[in-house]
Structure 1
């Protein structure tokens, strides 16, 4: 079996993934606030406020959303079971939030050693815990589909990301005599390429055909993508360490092939009006532009703002676009699925679009595109850093409002079943 067949009977209770998904917009607002503290001119790669904002975006926004999605996908696709979901939630969720906050404070307070230490403990506990839980569950699972293999590869990269991050923290806070710039390049490679893009590749194999009603990814891609991607990342890591940039070309070519395959499938969607496709299309375009900017920098093109533009396009363009595209589908789907299980005899749950209407998707997409454009312009020196910061705050407010509105409709439905005999209209997601 190449593509995972979701089994929603194995889905964890919504109380496990939902807190991660609902925390993401809060951290986006904090990332925007941190960006307001940056130097008012063009962004500088090692500005402490910019570093804080980047890590709030990477760990607070994308990290929470990806953890919530990974826990759900591991259960319904790979059959990983969680015997104590409430304990697992508290063991992973709160250390992640504390670690994100401590790491941002470490950057904003002169690379504070105590804050780095607290962040390292909390984040290592959460991320290594998630990786070990996922890899152990996948090892025991009979699932050998493409999504399961891809998630396993992404989790293995996450372990490397944590190890490199802890080493960098020691290098910065305790002056360990290590080549910090090379370690930083490897940290970025495995964080953005191995964990972020690797997980997006793995999840896309399931969620793109399921939510966007597209054909499946090609069988050959599903069979070889995870192993080939790991090999390409290993070659790119050697190239970055030896400062031989042509060795990164296979990874860039494979990432571009993923963007092309995804765009090609979405062009054949049976829901051409679906707004979720637009998020993914923008994310794939941002991925290609980020790769171009990164290659230009590695090849020695001396243009101001290239590293900042590549980082913004990868973190917010690719990561933000894919996460928002999935979040606006997964959140109402989880709520609908839970309502379906709770529905009294003769009653049905409201549809996913009743829980979170398509107008919310469109509003969020517009704000995402504004923030993406302003951030790219700021990296190129064409806009002050305050412009994307304000755009992020507006997007965070919209995102949080949409999440709270969906939760209100979900709770209202449950109350109606308990307090009122009126029948809800039948609908399908």
Structure 2
């Protein structure tokens, strides 16, 4: 595995992204509990208030939480610039994101959205500040031009998502003042999932898949095509609804346009993983393959549910969203967490040890921080939980079993990540002790020579 050349001075301390990574499984557990107590009726419609609340617990509390932590480490590497005031701002971003997510989920899930203004007061500053930090760092030169461009586009898509979400929240709280509709919710979800999250997954995947799994590099033309298809569909959706409130003919073709980029990414991931040189069993490889399969299934089901309402399949759009959100994005993030957390811990320990042999000897291998067998068990449990959740709109009898599986899935993930961070903290103490001993020995030798 070829490690990237990283300037340690550009990276924030490991404790900053770690707090985002460790918080995400807690929101996953909260989402599972929310679904469980809401009952099987939650799957009747994707507009069910409790399902909207659970969706935002997942999207903001898990997916976005991990995205923020990952970007705090990835952007300085590809942009060759550190995030401005990261030590001061990131803890506040974390606190406000947690608070705003809880308030927003409660507001959407309850009959009256009383806490929406407070949710906006927490989320808008947190996300705006973080988006500004990203865009400032990405304005300069970069070490990976395509990855940096994709990350910039992801940041811009996040800004659009924030603005659309704020408008929807204001319209929900004060219906007479802000015009909203389900079409605007669809555009908001598209910009968030396909734009902000999708482009970021492509950017990060194009870097970590070849690095960690020794595959051929993603073709640059393929990466440009994915971004072009995704952005074309999203811009068409925005143009269509801005003209006629979601009834414009452009709205009908946007699923096909954006999903062309999704299909291309899923196919390329499968092809590159089939050519990997490192053939050892790997949990993250399994997660990428499962996620690519979920993307392909969702890409097939979503247009069918849009263009064939005469099938009498009211759960079609919900099922497609399940495949795209749960079967693909959630699975990708779980797989990357199992790889990125021990890697970042190892990278920071290596940086701390420097070139001191006794300190380097105290740095544990990534497998010692998070065992591969446990990671594979985690992905297997996650796959079963996702399959049962995806089936719930069609077979509600699985509801309780699926929610309990999801609860166990997130609890195991949180336990594994917490154990990895704990072991890294212990190793950090050992490395610091070894460095202190080495400095003491060097001082003694220097004193005797004087």
In the superposition, the TM-score normalised over structure 1's length comes to 0.91
Mapping of 1:27-426 within 5 angstroms?
A: 27-41=27-41, 43-44=43-44, 45-113=46-114, 115-143=115-143, 145-175=145-175, 176=177, 178-238=179-239, 241=246, 242=248, 244-272=251-279, 273-301=281-309, 302-343=312-353, 344-348=356-360, 349-417=363-431
Q: Would you say the 8 A contact 1:41–1:381 is kept in 2?
A: no
Cα-to-partner distance string for 1:45-67 (whole Å, 9 max, x where unaligned): 22222111111000001011111
Unaligned runs of 5+ residues in structure 1 are 424-429
What secondary structure sits across from 1:140 in the alignment? coil
Between Structure 1 and Structure 2, whose CA radius of gyration is higher?
A: 2
Aligned residue for 1:427? none
1:313 is displaced (CA, Å) by 1.6
Matches of 1:385 and 1:184, distance apart in 2 = 25
Q: Would you say the 8 A contact 1:21–1:327 is kept in 2?
A: yes
| Residues 346 and 254 (structure 1), Cα distance of their counterparts in 2 relative to 1, 3 Å cut | same
Matches of 1:222 and 1:300, distance apart in 2 = 31
1:143 is displaced (CA, Å) by 4.5
Matches of 1:82 and 1:235, distance apart in 2 = 33
Q: Would you say the 8 A contact 1:7–1:77 is kept in 2?
A: no
Cα-to-partner distance string for 1:205-236 (whole Å, 9 max, x where unaligned): 11111111111001212445434532232124
* Mean CA deviation greater in 165-174 or 39-48: 39-48
In the superposition, the TM-score normalised over structure 2's length comes to 0.87
Matches of 2:143 and 2:233, distance apart in 1 = 24
Relative to its length, the structure with more helix (as a share) is: 2
Matches of 2:381 and 2:82, distance apart in 1 = 37
| Residues 107 and 250 (structure 1), Cα distance of their counterparts in 2 relative to 1, 3 Å cut | closer
Matches of 1:6 and 1:148, distance apart in 2 = 16
| Residues 13 and 141 (structure 1), Cα distance of their counterparts in 2 relative to 1, 3 Å cut | farther
| Residues 276 and 91 (structure 1), Cα distance of their counterparts in 2 relative to 1, 3 Å cut | same
| Residues 305 and 381 (structure 1), Cα distance of their counterparts in 2 relative to 1, 3 Å cut | farther
Q: Would you say the 8 A contact 1:16–1:89 is kept in 2?
A: yes
* Mean CA deviation greater in 124-133 or 197-206: 124-133
1:385 is displaced (CA, Å) by 2.7
Does the alignment pair 1:16 with 2:28?
no
Matches of 2:254 and 2:57, distance apart in 1 = 30
Aligned residue for 1:426? none
1:332 is displaced (CA, Å) by 0.3
The structure whose RCO (Cα within 8 Å, separation 6+) is larger is 1
| Residues 226 and 144 (structure 1), Cα distance of their counterparts in 2 relative to 1, 3 Å cut | farther
Cα-to-partner distance string for 1:312-363 (whole Å, 9 max, x where unaligned): 2222211111101111111001111111122354332111011101012111
* Mean CA deviation greater in 239-248 or 375-384: 239-248
Unaligned runs of 5+ residues in structure 2 are 438-450
Aligned residue for 2:442? none
- Please tell me the root mean square deviation across aligned C-alpha atoms, in Å: 2.2
Matches of 1:299 and 1:21, distance apart in 2 = 39
Matches of 1:194 and 1:392, distance apart in 2 = 26
